[in-house]
Amino acid sequence: MQLIFIIIIKLNDINENYENFINNIMQVIFLGINLKNRDELVNKLIKLIKNDIKQCFTKDIYDFIYKYNKKSGMNSISLFNVLIYFFKDNSEKDLLRYLFEILKKNIKI
């Protein structure tokens, strides 16, 4: 929900692409709460990454998210957290800190 709130606050003009993006985020949240149909949740996340994010963000951001997802198998919570950082003030610093924490947690040294 924080991601939707930040999108609405930060954007002056929410076009059709962002409306679709927000609607699909809501569906992912609902499916994630229900957890009855994991395949549908995964399909929605794939659609969100391949379609909505591509339409709403620059190529650099999309490429980063797509590659990060491919390598890490990002779940919906991680995806939303990464997207939140792209909208927040001081996003570069926050995003780097977040990614460092994820890497620390997932990579055993």
pLDDT of the residue at 12 = 74
Distance, CA of 84 to CA of 52 (rounded, Å): 15
| pLDDT tens digits, one per residue of 62-107 | 888 788 777 776 666 777 777 777 777 666 666 667 777 777 777 6
Tell me the pTM: 0.63
Distance, CA of 22 to CA of 7 (rounded, Å): 9
CB 28 within 8 A of CB 78: no
